[in-house]
Chain A
Amino acid sequence: MNRIRIIRDVKLGVKSLMLHKLRSLLTMLGVVFGVGSVVAMLSIGEGASRQALAEIRKLGANNILINAMKPEDDSRPGRSGRTVMSVYGLLYTDEQRLKESFPSITSTAPAKILRREARLGEHTTEVRIVGTTPEWFSLVQRPLIAGRYLNALDQQTSANVCVLAELVARKLLAGHHTIGQNVRIGGDYFTVVGIIRNETASSGGVQTPDQPVDAYIPLATGRALFGDINTQRKTGQFIRERVELHQIIAQVDKIENVQATATAVKAMLERFHKQEDYKLAIPLALLRQAEETQRIFSIVLGSIAGISLLVGGIGIMNIMLASVTERTREIGIRRAIGAQRKQIILQFLIETMVLSIAGGLVGLGLGLLIPLAITYFASMPTVVTAWSLILSLSISAFVGIVFGLYPAYRAAMLDPIVALRHE
């Protein structure tokens, strides 16, 4: 019975609103755009957030990345014809210490990085040689396209084998059978044993450890063939660098331990390095930072959209106040017949609720379309979450109540005698 009454009340409200179709429609538009922009803004925020988080996850949330860094004061240019040698970077003993003296570090992967030209037949391409250990592939998990990863045996025997990144493989091996080819890198031949797919990304200034131009070889092989001194010839001068390791990736057992371990690792490196020729990057910290940034971003976007909802609400209140004035006589008649104040309040509140909820529903549709259009035209990722729909719809209902209450109250407080005399 109660439900029938409510349906009837709502019907009556719709009827009164339909008397001024254009006016009701225009009033509703405020809420339509308000809710639409809340949903759209939140979906853009959520999309950007998910994208950033996915990129950071590729860095490995459990990992600490330690990169060799050429110190500033050591990079002054040498005189023409002279040779400058700079010694910096991470040491083999650093990796040893990380592995042995940190119980929370479960695994480490070193990387010795050189740039050389690779050649197969008439195809050549510049590659980044990464001399590393089999652990690399468990710390930087990338899917195999063909063959296998490097293994312990390659390491023990200093085998001339390599795993290529997909892009390098495409450039060199186009049209050939991939696995088992001998590729010349620098001055030596390497047998291709595997091809992996890269997932490179950079976030907050930190690059993923892998790059599309990578060729992975056993660290032992790299040391034997290339040594620790790298000579580059530039116009009129040689630049020689002695770097043992360019990067160490350390995997921490639990996410909670990442920050503490990173602090301890930093302290250890500070003790053993005279100069600051290394830099720690903690994807987890970036993740946290990005999450915080995205949260603020969402709040800001949502608030801006919320303001338009507020404006919509004020529009509703304005129209309802006009409607109360216009229908003063109706209110007087209803009161004379015996309607109580609360019934008058209910009547007007239902009208504003109908306006704001109908506006909210249309706005919801708009809010679903805008992100689609944005993704389509601007290729920006957008994610519409269920909670953003629920949130904006309940806000619109709330707007209806808040902005409807005052006009309804004004209507109910009218003196029936005065209201009846109103022309």
Chain B
Amino acid sequence: MIQTVLQSSSHDHADSDAAPEAVIQLQQVHKRYPMGRECVHALRGVDLEFNRGSFWAIMGASGSGKSTMLNLLGCLDRPSEGRLLIEGRDTAKLNDNELSDLRLRRLGFIFQSFNLIPQLTVRENIEMPLYYLGWEPADSAVRAGELAAMVDLGNRLDHRPAELSGGQQQRVAIARSLANDPAIILADEPTGNLDTATGEAIMDMLKNLHAQGRTIIMVTHEPDIAEHASHRLHMRDGEVDRIEC
């Protein structure tokens, strides 16, 4: 099921396997933001390249800059200094609407606390990116059905998030993150609120997505979860500490 849906929706990535291509580039990226009277220097000149189709785990103690990094990669924020290119586009030069559009078309988010909208059903939650993409209701209903079936929740479409277990909610969130057929999936502690067995199941799902050619960047502090990734980026004090492959 996963195979068919993903192949039909991500064919444009298929031919990029041959030559590794940088889907995200960071060049001397700094991020400072005011906190009270002081200015926090969260990123201090980071140079990185994320290749298309790679699976990264970003690790580090709290305050190491990994959250700031994920916010920048997710186009929720812009660097204070330096260049951050997403598929060749410099995010510092994009306005709020253009950043929103980039998130809408190229990125998918998975959060630690699932972040489903409580008053909406599973189907409506999965449909949300399609709604902002301007899909016809009939088409997006079909697509949401396919995605729900892919995460084994085809029979829960009309349930509310509160009626689902944590693992099920995270699967809905994964389905939602895939609705717009994103090039890059950003996951912020996706297993942080789940028990080990459920967390492993979610990781299997992410590995499958990786196998289908998606770029996945995941923030985690659990080493055994990070083991699933192809690259591990350790951060410390706003700088890249080391990279394991």
Listed in ascending order, the chain A residues whose CB lies under 8 Å from chain B are: 1, 4-5, 8, 15-16, 19, 329-330, 332-341, 343, 416-417, 420
- Max chain B Cβ within 10 angstroms of own Cβ: one of A5, A19, A330, A416: A416
Query: Do the beta carbons of B136 and A336 come within 8 Å of each other?
Result: no
CA of A343 to CA of B117, assembled, Å: 16
Query: Do the beta carbons of A1 and B136 come within 8 Å of each other?
Result: yes
Interface string of B170-187 (1 = CB under 8 A from A): 000000100010000000
CA of A15 to CA of B119, assembled, Å: 8
Measured between C-beta atoms, what is the minimum distance from B194 to chain A in Å? 19
CA of A371 to CA of B103, assembled, Å: 56
Which B77-108 residues sit within 8 Å CB-CB of chain A? 77, 96-97, 100-105, 107
Query: Do the beta carbons of A333 and B136 come within 8 Å of each other?
Result: no
Residue B76, interface by CB 8 Å:
yes
Query: Do the beta carbons of A329 and B115 come within 8 Å of each other?
Result: yes
Nearest chain A residue, comparing its CB with the CB of B180: A338
CA of A341 to CA of B104, assembled, Å: 13
Query: Do the beta carbons of A335 and B77 come within 8 Å of each other?
Result: no
CA of A416 to CA of B109, assembled, Å: 13
- Cβ 8 A contact of B117, one of A330, A338, A341, A420: A330
Given A336-B74, A420-B111, CB of A341 within 8 Å of CB of B136: no
CA of A116 to CA of B119, assembled, Å: 86
Interface string of B148-178 (1 = CB under 8 A from A): 0000000000000000000000000000100
Nearest chain B residue, comparing its CB with the CB of A343: B132
Given A337-B128, A338-B103, CB of A417 within 8 Å of CB of B77: yes
CA of A337 to CA of B128, assembled, Å: 8
Chain B residues with Cβ below 8 Å from A5 are 134
- Max chain A Cβ within 10 angstroms of own Cβ: one of B100, B119, B136: B100
Chain B residues with Cβ below 8 Å from A341 are 96-97, 100
Q: Given contacts A5-B134, A337-B103, list 9 more A-B pairs with CB under 8 A.
A: A4-B136, A333-B115, A333-B116, A334-B117, A336-B74, A336-B103, A336-B115, A338-B133, A343-B132
Query: Do the beta carbons of B137 and A4 come within 8 Å of each other?
Result: yes
Number of B residues with CB within 8 Å of any CB on chain A: 30
CA of A417 to CA of B103, assembled, Å: 13
Query: Do the beta carbons of A16 and B137 come within 8 Å of each other?
Result: no
Chain A residues with Cβ below 8 Å from B76 are 335-336, 416-417, 420
Chain B residues with Cβ below 8 Å from A16 are 119
- Cβ 8 A contact of A337, one of B71, B96, B129, B137: B129
CA of A1 to CA of B135, assembled, Å: 10
Query: Do the beta carbons of B109 and A336 come within 8 Å of each other?
Result: yes
Query: Do the beta carbons of B119 and A340 come within 8 Å of each other?
Result: no
CA of A337 to CA of B120, assembled, Å: 15
CA of A341 to CA of B132, assembled, Å: 12
- Cβ 8 A contact of A335, one of B100, B119, B120: B100
Chain A residues with Cβ below 8 Å from B129 are 337-338
Chain A residues with Cβ below 8 Å from B136 are 1, 4
Nearest chain A residue, comparing its CB with the CB of B100: A340
> Nearest 7 CB-CB pairs, A to B?
A338-B104, A338-B103, A340-B100, A333-B115, A416-B76, A417-B76, A19-B119
Chain B residues with Cβ below 8 Å from A19 are 119
CA of A16 to CA of B96, assembled, Å: 26
CA of A283 to CA of B97, assembled, Å: 67
CA of A416 to CA of B132, assembled, Å: 16
Nearest chain B residue, comparing its CB with the CB of A330: B117
CA of A19 to CA of B71, assembled, Å: 31
CA of A329 to CA of B115, assembled, Å: 8
Measured between C-beta atoms, what is the minimum distance from B203 to chain A in Å? 22
Measured between C-beta atoms, what is the minimum distance from A169 to chain B in Å? 76
Given A8-B137, A334-B128, A336-B74, CB of A420 within 8 Å of CB of B115: yes
Chain B residues with Cβ below 8 Å from A336 are 74, 76, 103, 109, 115
Chain A residues with Cβ below 8 Å from B120 are 15
Query: Do the beta carbons of A337 and B111 come within 8 Å of each other?
Result: no
CA of A16 to CA of B117, assembled, Å: 11
CA of A417 to CA of B131, assembled, Å: 22
Measured between C-beta atoms, what is the minimum distance from A21 to chain B in Å? 12
Measured between C-beta atoms, what is the minimum distance from B89 to chain A in Å? 15
CA of A72 to CA of B36, assembled, Å: 86
Residue pairs across A and B with Cβ atoms less than 8 A apart, 30 shown, are A4-B136, A8-B137, A15-B119, A15-B120, A329-B115, A330-B117, A332-B115, A333-B117, A334-B117, A334-B132, A335-B100, A336-B74, A336-B109, A337-B103, A337-B109, A337-B176, A338-B104, A338-B107, A338-B129, A338-B132, A338-B180, A339-B100, A339-B104, A339-B132, A341-B96, A341-B97, A341-B100, A343-B132, A417-B71, A420-B111
CA of A339 to CA of B105, assembled, Å: 11
- Max chain B Cβ within 10 angstroms of own Cβ: one of A16, A334, A336, A420: A336
CA of A378 to CA of B76, assembled, Å: 64
- Cβ 8 A contact of A338, one of B77, B105, B116: B105
Chain A residues with Cβ below 8 Å from B97 are 340-341
Nearest chain B residue, comparing its CB with the CB of A8: B137
Chain B residues with Cβ below 8 Å from A8 are 131, 137
Chain A residues with Cβ below 8 Å from B111 are 420
Chain A residues with Cβ below 8 Å from B132 are 334, 337-340, 343
Which B12-45 residues sit within 8 Å CB-CB of chain A? none
Chain B residues with Cβ below 8 Å from A339 are 100, 104, 132
- Max chain B Cβ within 10 angstroms of own Cβ: one of A4, A5, A330, A340: A340
Nearest chain A residue, comparing its CB with the CB of B74: A336
Chain A residues with Cβ below 8 Å from B131 are 8
CA of A174 to CA of B172, assembled, Å: 92
Chain A residues with Cβ below 8 Å from B71 are 417
Nearest chain A residue, comparing its CB with the CB of B128: A337
Which B110-142 residues sit within 8 Å CB-CB of chain A? 111, 115-117, 119-120, 128-129, 131-134, 136-137
